[in-house]
Amino acid sequence: MLGDPLLTKHWRNTMNAYETAQSLGITGTDAEIVAALQAITLHVRDAYITGGPADTPSKNILHLLTARHRVMGMNALQQWSGPLIIAEEGNAGVKIIMDILRTQLQVNDTKALCSVDLEAAQMVNSLTTVVGALTGKLAQVIAEVALLTGGRIGAQFADLTTEQFTAQRTDAEALSLKQTALTRCTEAMEAAQAEYRSAASTPATIVQAMLDSLGAV
């Protein structure tokens, strides 16, 4: 089960599958968690629809649609036209996408909040599929959209197996136990040192204090 999607703002693509599941609050059996990771439709970061950083290789979604793949553009009447607009006429799904985009295409620095909003992520994913179908270059379109968004989170775990996830979980749990033991040992040493600094301490009481503290480890 996937936790609060807003938690993805803390997601880092340097985390492994187990760490990602923990950060997103995904629970269940190992197999269920793997399936949930692979099904995540959210992206690593939001995508600019218009505007954006000047050094972004693919610039923004508008650039991909109008300049890179030319599936739409402004005609002489200052109306949107092109293969994507034609596809909208007979496809309810494409119409939904365009209804969302039209309100933002002529405003600068608008964003699709696809890293935190499931509907925005679905819009970006659906648009990618449609443009890929119209151009016959789906793999290329996916890669170019990934430049804007960092890629769909679930896609990065497409090849993850339950066995690999279990191994990561086992390693993490073992490390956690070691860290807990080290922390308690450090606390025991600090308690012994505190006893040593006491004016009433003797070598025997110091050793006993340390043994008493370590007895709880």
Give me the tens of pLDDT residue by residue for the chain, a chain 217 residues long: 444 444 444 455 578 999 999 988 999 999 999 999 999 999 999 999 999 876 666 689 999 999 999 999 999 998 999 999 999 988 999 999 999 898 898 888 999 999 999 999 999 999 999 999 999 999 999 999 999 999 999 999 999 999 999 999 999 999 888 888 888 888 877 877 776 666 455 566 656 665 666 665 5
Q: H/E/C letters for each residue in the chain?
A: CCCCHHHHHHCCCCCCHHHHHHHHCCCCCHHHHHHHHHCCCCECCCEECCCCCCCCCCCCHHHHHHHHCCCCEECCCCCEECHHHHHHHCCHHHHHHHHHHHCCCCCCCCEECCCCCHHHHHHHHHHHHHHHHHHCCHHHHHHHHHHHHCCEHHHHHCCCCHHHHHHHHHHHHHHHHHHHHHHHHHHHHHHHHHHHHCCCCCHHHHHHHHHHHHCCC
For residue 90, the model assigns a pLDDT of 84
> What pLDDT does residue 17 have?
95
Q: What is the pLDDT of residue 167?
A: 97
- At residue 177, the pLDDT reads 87
pLDDT of residue 215: 62
Note the pLDDT of residue 56: 65
pLDDT at 206: 58
pLDDT value of residue 103 = 87
